[in-house]
Structure 1
Amino acid sequence: MKKSIKYTDSASKKLNSVLEKVKEQIADDIVNSKNYPGEELIEITASDIEETYRRLSIRNNKSTFYRKSKMIRMIIPVYFILGIMLTLFGIFRKDIMELIKNDKEGLMYSLTGFVISLTSAAIFYLYKNKENERRREYEKERRNLSKWISEIDLEKYDTEFLKDENASA
């Protein structure tokens, strides 16, 4: 069920100003991409607007479910690594205890290498996680914005905006 929306006067004015700014930004972007030396007229097509529109993004507020699932996605690899470490410690416990008692220098090299490997793996995982999150968010916003722009009748908006400008002048 689609809910009805009622804009207040100030909201309508603000929406019109925001749409005008977006329209100007789209036009500026297209002009910058089509700015060829010697041309005096730049023609903007519907496909130009659609392509520029795809790069627009509206950030959605994050829900608590999203934050919880993100935390779970980060904790699971930590538990996985901890489980592997405990398994290896159980298998090589006698060797590790002997290393601790007899070879302090070898122990330091082993622990330093382990910490460096663990840190780099964690940083790599966080980087990849953030990159995937941005990619999913971008795709979701692109789908939403494509749907939104297809619903806007730009010609109608242009004529209504011009009528409003002429009435206020």
Structure 2
Amino acid sequence: MNYLLENQETNRLVFRKLNPSDFENWLPYHNDTEAIEFYNNGKAPEEACKQWFDEQFLRYEQQSGGLNVLIDKKSKAIIGQCGLEPDANDPNKVVLRFALLPKFRDKGYAEEALQLCIKTAFDTMKIKALFAYVSPADQEREDIFSELGMEWEDTDIVNHTIVNIFKIKK
């Protein structure tokens, strides 16, 4: 199933597919040591950003969902990415993910985008449960998922990283 939310909108955001031309706008995310502590995994920011893009384009090609670029309606700026995708180890699980550029954090964008993802997943796609994987060190992200009604389910190792697993059911 394709979990992409292309052309969806919230009050402040438009969802669209990632484009190769977005690379320079997204590179600052990979320069933010707090955000990419686990993702970059020792790679240079440019290499990690290229890997990020390759992963998203592969998901688009496979029509399995992936992250959508979040565009601020007023400024037309890229503020982050958010979306739904199948779990790499269990395709029956759908994972909720988001990432915001540093200057757009703590402004409610994550919650706004994630709420649309959850609503669309449950109401339109008829998904019964969503999961989120969070580093135990990332309290801010855990708080965001908790505020959205997700509950801690387990701690496990995903992609060689210890994560707390959050879940929300319809």
Same fold (TM over 0.5): no
Q: Which structure has the larger Rg over C-alpha atoms?
A: 1
Answer 1 or 2: which has greater helix percent. 1
- Larger RCO: Structure 1 or Structure 2 (Cα < 8 Å, ≥ 6 residues apart)? 1
Normalised TM-score (structure 1): 0.20
